[in-house]
Structure 1
Amino acid sequence: MSRTNTDTMEVSGGTPLAGEISVRGAKNLVPKAMVAAVLGDQPSTLTNVPRISDVTIVRELLELHGVTVRDGADGPHSLVLDPSRVEQATMGDIEVHAGSSRIPILLCGPLLHRVGHAFIPDLGGCRIGDRPINFHLDALRQFGAVVDKRPEGLQITAPNGLTGTQLELPYPSVGSTEQVLLTAVRAQGVTELRNAAVEPEIIDLICVLQKMGAIINLDTDRVIRITGVRRLGGYIHEALPDRMETASWACAALATGGEVFVRNARQVDLMTFLNVYRRAGGEFMVTHEGIRFWHPGGKLNAVALETDVHPGFMTDWQQPLVVALTQATGLSILHETVYENRLGFTEALVRLGAQIQVFTDCLGATPCRFGRRNYTHSAVISGPTSLRGADLTVPDLRGGFSYMIAALAAQGRSTLRGIDIFARGYENFLPKLEGLGAQVDLR
């Protein structure tokens, strides 16, 4: 895992990023594929694994539950997971990880199938909006689980086993869809999930489960039908590349007036992003080895943008792109429809000199859950503006990367505190920055 021995960085801005970086497996798939291995009775092999802290945390959680995890033929970039001796970890051991990850809730279904009970401590993750676990618990209850709420966490059992059911999501949540998939594949009977998430990482997880022996049908109307099976085997799977990291570096190239080749980036997962990138004035070239992104010179274009579930514009893409839009000519309009609190990062950009106004109104046509609920979930970005260095504290993973982009695009020096969070989702973050010519110093 890529870690720093400090949480503060000095950034000297004004230098275009130029060079090449590589992306590995998606942060939003790899930990879930690791959890899926618990469902099998044979070892699984996962390749293209990034060296990030989220993977380390899940590895430790699985080992606490009796899963043997070792590096594969590709060193730490491949994992062999043997679940043959799965057991329930002690409450004290699990509580060590309380607040560090939201993965424990996804372990419920696999553990209920394998050992009959599961304990879930307090959950962590980036604080970017309301991420209630109520649906996870309600879904588990519909499968036949019993949830006992205790001061230290949740004790979940399945005294009569788990049985297939019919569910419909009020919103196509990725986490809720993952919960249903990981629980339904070994439940007795058929499960039908309506209004499911269909992100590329969900499809890749379905591929993992199908390799293990699951029977899963995906309809075109966001309906997933899972026929439960009595046993699952192992899998051999290469994780799809991380489209969030790819977009982050692409926006860094655009905001700094640079050029970055992202090796292993995959066009099919980025088509919506690439369209907006081109509309904003950025250029890219797709090759069989990756995608090259660059600022072609001249003016960037203001755009109107709405985030949405796949195949819409991903919410994790908007934060780094907003930084680039501060350099576009005219008024760009952003409507965030996925997380209600994701625009808090713009306050720091304003301190850097950006002209951004946030609104509680829905500045877009996409149906939105946050309208008339007093959430600042729309923004107007006026540009181009000259950014200047400032002191910044990283709020979350994607917002923090956006601060980094802004500091690199600004004139003068900036101080970023809390950079350790980058280890959650960006492998070799500092070496990549330095390899692109960024002037950074740890403190």
Structure 2
Amino acid sequence: MDSIIVTGGSSLNGQIPIAGAKNAALALMPATLLSEEPLTLTNVPRLSDIKTMTALLESLGVEVTSLQGGKVQVLSSHAMTSTRADYEIVRKMRASNLVLGPLLARHHEAIVSLPGGCAIGARPMDIHIDALELMGAQIELRDGYLHAKAPGGLKGARVPLRFASVGATENVLMAATLAKGTTVIENAAREPEIVDLARCLRAMGAQIAGEGTSTIEVQGVDRLGAATHPVVTDRIELGTYMLAPVFCGGEVECLGGKLELVTAFVEKLDAAGVDVTETDAGLKVKLRGDRPRAVDVVTEPFPGFPTDLQAQMMAMLCLADGTSVLEERIFENRFMHAPELVRMGANIEVQGGYAKVHGVDRLKGAPVMATDLRASVSLILAGLAAEGETRVNRVYHLDRGYENVEQKLSAVGAKIERVRDA
């Protein structure tokens, strides 16, 4: 198992290229199941989660061709052999459930294992199930698998989501493209990844309006065709690397970054004393003073502050002047990184969905353990500012969501290396 070793104290200067969005790509790839014609995705991130989704699609008979070192994926579902998504693959990643809607829409049946992923709290499938049942699906849970059928195909319906779930919105959006009639998704998620999926589906021939708002309307069509689509910039990787120079000084330009992807995040950075400047190539970031100021943060669905940047923000606020309060409203159990930051000298009190962070003058390097994807990178960021050496163990989580972390940070001056544990 690999570990990451970070030696703090080096300022960061230069440019960091931001990859395509993992969460967008994981929804775009199953869209190939909706058509017999090929779907070509460009700007695909090279991550272990992408490999897992590739393996899942290939198990269904999808042909996946990787080009340009994996940055381009050509997917074709013209000769599918199965509509069953097995536990051995699905257990590795939550996004595996996104094959359910497309399989029901085109093949009128699916058997999909309940999914796995990071242990950051309950992310129930009942929102997906309730929505698809409103469209005429018959779904029952047996032996850990969802057995779904749609005799005669899915039908358009009014689908109110009780929570603005990104995954449920994506599943219903894909399913609705081939449903008979009009589907209206109410309380839809508004994330950029939803907008990106809608644009891709529209390029394939879908009739969609309202993406990026809380109401999406889809007029079903008989078939979808071929398309080529670039994956949107990863706003979570963008936000993560925007924080890097705040920890240890310097100025970093995040290539491909766009303000509209991280508006709420940038508002908090500004309040904390961080300058963010839009350039022709991306976003340039620099701390205005010697240390950031304390700010309060509440995680919310887009366009609010992203839960996937909460751990990284907490790590920064450990060094802020004053006391900050973070409230996690999206996932329970998402403060598991707090005890690891405390091992590095942070002063954090956690109670339920709240964390009070009292800023300290310095952090000290220590052996720490990554508990989930975003927690792992928050510990690496903390290590950039810490005195001495920080060893982040169990970084297999990291590889699910960040490509070439060591190379990207090393290129701007960080002292970081990956080592193979004995």
Task: Please state which band the TM-score falls in when normalised by the shorter chain.
Answer: over 0.9
Partner in structure 2 of residue 231 of structure 1: 223
Deviations 1:57-105 (A, max 9, x none): 1112112212211134x442111112211231566xx333131112332
Residue correspondence of structure 1 range 349-388 to structure 2 within 5 A: 349-359=341-351, 376-388=352-364
Provide the rounded CA distance (Å) in 2 between the counterparts of 1:149 and 1:32.
23
Deviates more, 1:18-27 or 1:217-226: 217-226
Q: CA deviation at 1:155?
A: 2.2
Alignment of 1:105 with 2:97, yes or no, is yes
Contact 1:12 1:407 in 2 (8 A): yes
CA offset at residue 241 of structure 1? 0.4
**Equivalent residue of 2:80, what SS?**
coil
1:210 aligns to 2:202 (yes or no): yes
Q: Counterpart of 2:165? A: 173
Offset from partner CA, 1:359-411 (integer Å, 9 cap, x none): 3xxxxxxxxxxxxxxxx111221123321112211011111110111122111
Shift of 1:172: 0.9
Q: Would you say 1:81 and 2:57 are equivalent positions?
A: no
DSSP 3-state at the match of 1:300: coil
For 1:89 and 1:200, the matched residues in 2 are separated by 29
Aligned partner of 2:117 in structure 1 is 125
Secondary structure of the equivalent of 2:396?
Answer: helix
TM norm structure 2: 0.94
1:196 and 2:188 aligned? yes
Partner residue, 1:66: 61
- Check conservation: 1:64, 1:89, Cα contact below 8 A: no
Amino acid aligned to 2:13 = A
After superposition, the C-alpha distances for 1:275-323 in whole angstroms (9 at most, x for unaligned) are: 2111111122211211121223324211122111111111112211111
Aligned equivalent of 2:398: 422
Greater shift in the superposed pair: 62-71 or 431-440: 431-440
Report the TM-score when normalising by structure 1: 0.90
Alignment of 1:408 onto 2:384? yes
**1:431 aligned to which of 401, 407, 413:** 407
> What's the Cα RMSD here?
1.8
Aligned sequence identity (%):
37
**Contact map agreement 1:88 1:111 (CA 8 A) in 2:** no
Task: Please say if 1:42 is aligned against 2:37.
Answer: yes
CA distance in 2, matches of 1:380, 1:437: 31
Of 37-46 and 202-211, deviating more is 37-46
Letter in 2 for 1:81: L
Give the C-alpha shift of residue 152 in structure 1: 4.7
Residue in structure 2 matched with residue 31 of structure 1 by the alignment = 26
Q: Deviations over 1:259-281 (max 9, x none)?
A: 22211112221222112111111
Give the 4+ runs in structure 1 shifted more than 3 A.
none
- For the 8 Å contact 1:88–1:117, the answer to whether it is kept is no
Unaligned runs of 5+ in 2: none
Could you tell me how far 1:8 is from its partner in structure 2? 1.9
Paired residue for 1:391?
367
Shift of 1:145: 1.9
Paired with 1:233 and 1:298, the residues of 2 have a C-alpha distance of 55
Aligned position for 1:253: 245
